[in-house]
Structure 1
Amino acid sequence: MRRNRMTETFAPLRSPETKAAEAAPSSLEVVTAFDDFMTAFEAFKEVNDERLAEIEARISPDAVTTEKLARLDETLDRQQRALDQLTLKSRRPALETSSGRATGAGAEHKAAFEAYVRRGEVASLKGLEAKALAGVTGAQGGYLVPEATEREIGRRLAEVSPIRAIASVQTVTSSTFRKPVAKAGFTAGWAAETGARAQTATPDLDELAFPAMEIFANPAATQTLLDDAAVDLDQWIAEEVESAFAEQESVAFVTGDGTTRPQGFLTPAKVANSAWEWGKIGYVATGEAGGFDPDAPADSLLDLVYALRAGYRRNASFVMNRRTQSLVRKLKDADGRYLWEPPAAAQGNATLLGFPLVEAEAMPDVADGAHAIAFGDFRRGYLVVDRIGVRILRDPYTAKPYVLFYTTKRVGGGVQDFDAIKTLKFGAS
């Protein structure tokens, strides 16, 4: 518990010099990692087929086969993580440097910000923010990062934050975004060219509020790094806050309480899908406490898919954590075909029943009563709200000889269409 609380407060203090030295992987590295992953998956299928045959023949599988399958499962997970990391690094665009396209006010802000970060000079930044009518953040202080750095942070978060990558994202300037929605949709109909139009019923409207909560990170740098003119500080800041922000967002967008952080899509009350109503998330039960039905494990996944209306299924995705995925990876349909399929290319997603599978480690593990799998059109179902402005406060005193950079961003989120997301409950009902 203590470790989780520290994770919520500060980003880990990693070596800036090591981080800055990382290079983008070559295409050959990505292809090689993908080939290794596919080779491991073929071996996994072979051993899993052997395990299933032993279950049919002897009721329980051989211990050696089970142990071998577990090792292959761990290998698949490890190679999948390595492939994901290589793919992510290859996708990252480079930030514009001081010799790039920044001109005019943008170049002036960039130069003033760099002077603040490297040497703590604040006069130029204060003057720029006074002209822009943008003061410091109350008692906490801090200064806005350049727009290029803010855009880069947003792009990086979209790559590494799993729910943000599949949700809708709205940028706002206010502290709360309010959205009116029609609970049952708007009334429509057909009429002849000169025919009478029946009066439509008044729609039942609801207003959803998405307040922006503050998320922060505290990366550290040595003065040697800051004095090195060859180091792109914009790039370094974006890389350092990326992992800290993404880790916290990933938890909040799934299980956040909506009070000190965004509301997660698993937070609203959940009811059996047959009794679904607006404001709640519908679920389908596996029929087995803490697991799949041993006689027909694929049935509950199919029921989950078809619990979602056709209009939502076109862009739907499965969401689960890696441990749940390792269970799903062993399942077959009635014709002996695996339900889980590896990505068709190095930069693709694995699929389950033909739908993309997104890993979110904040999803609960399989247990009695756990809603460990979600399925839905998250673009329509979940909204992420980004308030414009990322601020940094330079702190050379707290952790001498390191210089800390207290970085803050305001983010909100919540369900915007309660009919677009369903969950699979591992329970009898």
Structure 2
Amino acid sequence: MTTLLQRALDTRARTWSQMQEIQATAEREGRDLTAEERASWDAAEADLTAASQDVERMERMARLDAVQRDSVVVAIGDAAGENPEDRQATADAQYRDAFEAFTRRGMNGVTTEQRQLLMSNQTEIRAGATSPGSAGGYFIPTDTLARITETMKAYGGLLGAANVITTASGNPLNWPTNDDTSNVGAILAENSQITEQDVTLGQKSLGAYTYTSKLVRLSLQLLQDNAFNMESWLTRKLGERIGRAVAAHLVTGTGTNQPEGLFTNATAGVTGGVSATAAITYDDLIDLQHSIDPAYRTSAQFVTSDAGLKLARKLKDGDGRPLWEPSVQIGTPSALLGSPVLIDNGVPAPAPEAASFGFGDINAAYVVRQVAGGQMMRLEERYADYLQVGFFGFMRLDAAPDDGSAFRTFVHGDAA
């Protein structure tokens, strides 16, 4: 059976072929497009945009759904015959069941075994409005945390392309840096002493800012309704809220009491000309690609917002051919001048003096430090008179540029 994603890709491919045929016909006959051809082109371009949006939407849903379907399989049989992976899967499933019971009914609604599992994965966080038995944050199950992370990637984009380091604790993470690109070897004459050239090392450090989902209140009736997949719904809400906050900082965070964004202090590779509108040209994109060293270009990609992509898709080369190359195959991204395009709406929209496009190897240019084990708090008594239970989740994360040579931006010129 043909999937919706494949049908959308086929539609996009057919539409793209129609647009190319309209252009090819006019070129063969050595004339401009007729009014009818222009109307057909505009209609096809609208269909192409709609199909591209469907493809992006369904690919994003497929990534989220792939994690949600990655359910743990519990092995049946003699426990002594289980391999380590089966035992871990069994333990993960048991903890997930305990966490689900805690989420719905609190600590008074779990079994003794489930209570022990939760307590073994707890961090003590005192909340004055909670009872002693519920004062603590419990680690979110691995598969549930994966769904939150996927949601964060869907809202941003950079998180999926950056170099993500996961650590067990939030202690400062230091690593050495070195830029030796200006140093070269030399020919050594016979009976001559080798010239010395020191290697200069620097250091960068990452902490761990605490991101919270803020408080979510749910009614007891909703929690007691077993037909409602509360864990999946609440996980999505937590992930969306944390994801929105993280996504904005990964792009343009100031670096003061928050992560430093990739675009914040990035070097401008190209500055556009003075224009009454926020314009970008074919030559600007070519210059942006070549503003980074070829060593990074193999894995490089454009980064822009949806508004920036819309601007770029209207560009054509000297022969009138669109620079945008829509994908017609599952798993193959659409391209701009042969390079993939990453969409992150945290990137500034095209405007005078705004850095609305970036290009480079993001994995080399940007590092994200994420502390393992996002946690959830359940407040049972604070909203008891409303017959409600409060929830909030939190994760710890920091990020900073790493190799500044691997990424450059395009900055629009001043307004005319």
Shorter-chain TM range is 0.7 to 0.9
In the alignment, structure 1 residue 176 sits paired with structure 2 residue 160: no
- 1:309 equivalenced with 2:293 (yes/no): yes
Q: Normalized against structure 1, the TM-score is what?
A: 0.74
Equivalent pairs, count: 381
Which residue is 2:339 aligned to?
A: 355
Q: C-alpha offsets along residues 179-223 of structure 1, whole Å, 9 cap, x if unaligned?
A: 22113359675899x999946533222222222222222455554
Alignment map for 1:23-422 (pairs within 5 Å): 28-41=3-16, 69=42, 76-91=48-63, 92-93=66-67, 94-96=69-71, 105-121=91-107, 127-128=116-117, 131=120, 134-137=122-125, 139=127, 141-158=136-153, 161-172=156-167, 173-184=169-180, 189=185, 198=194, 200-217=196-213, 218-219=215-216, 221-229=218-226, 234-268=231-265, 281-289=267-275, 290-292=277-279, 297-395=281-379, 397-398=382-383, 400=386, 403-422=389-408
Alpha-carbon distance in 2 for matches of 1:46, 1:221: 56
Paired with 2:230 and 2:18, the residues of 1 have a C-alpha distance of 45
Map Cα deviations across residues 225-284 of structure 1 (whole Å, 9 max, x no partner).
Answer: 53344665554444333333332222111111223432111111xxxxxxxxxxx52321
Cα gap change, 1:27 to 1:119, in 2 (>3 Å): farther
Give the corresponding residue for 1:20: none
Letter in 2 for 1:181: T
Report the Cα distance in structure 1 between the residues aligned to 2:174 and 2:47, rounded to whole angstroms: 46
* Aligned residue type for 1:387: V
For residues 28 and 104 of structure 1, the distance between their equivalents in structure 2, rounded to whole angstroms, comes to 33
Residue-by-residue CA offset, 1:85-130 (whole Å, 9 max, x unaligned): 2222233231425857655654553343222101011686775566
Post-superposition Cα deviations, 1:317-348, rounded to whole Å, max 9, x if no partner, equal 00111112112112111233321110132443
| Corresponding letter in the other structure for 2:332 | G
* Amino acid corresponding to residue 166 of structure 1 in structure 2: A
Structure 1's 209 and 386: CA in aligned 2 closer, same or farther, altered over 3 A? same
1:168 and 1:66, CA in 2 relative to 1: closer, same or farther beyond 3 A?
farther
Q: 1:190 to 1:89 in 2, by over 3 A?
A: same
Aligned residue number for residue 424 of structure 1: 410
Paired AA for residue 262 in structure 2 = F
CA contact (8 A) 1:48 1:330 kept: no
Q: Is the 8 A contact 2:10 2:328 kept in 1?
A: no
1: CA distance, partners of 2:102 / 2:300:
45
What is the RMSD computed on CA atoms of the aligned residues?
4.0
Q: Is the 8 A contact 1:88 1:160 kept in 2?
A: no
CA gap 1:27/1:393 in 2 versus in 1, 3 angstroms:
farther
1:417/1:143 Cα in 2 relative to 1: closer, same or farther (>3 Å)? same
Greater shift in the superposed pair: 323-332 or 282-291: 282-291
Structure 1 unpaired stretches of 5+: 1-25, 269-279
For 1:8, the equivalent position in structure 2 comes to: none
What is the distance in 2 between the residues matched to 1:57 and 1:345?
Answer: 32
CA deviations over 1:41-85 (Å, ceiling 9, x no partner): 5566789999x9xxx989xx99x969994x766654444333222
One-letter code aligned to 2:399: G
- 8 Å contact from structure 1 (residues 252, 264) kept in 2: yes
1:183–1:95: structure 2 CA closer, same or farther, 3 Å change rule?
same
- Structure 2 gaps of 5+ residues are 76-85, 128-134
| Whole-angstrom CA distance in 2 between matches of 1:144 and 1:109 | 10
> CA 1:38/1:187 → structure 2, altered by over 3 Å: closer, same or farther?
same
* 1:157 Cα deviation after fit: 3.7
Shift of 1:156: 4.7
Name the CA shift for 1:223/1:130 in 2 (closer, same or farther; >3 Å).
closer
Q: Secondary structure of 2:374's partner?
A: strand
Q: Letter of the aligned partner of 2:57 in structure 1?
A: Q
Counting aligned pairs with the same residue, the percent is: 23
TM-score by length of 2: 0.76
Give the 3 Å change call, closer, same or farther, for CA 186–81 of structure 1 in structure 2.
same
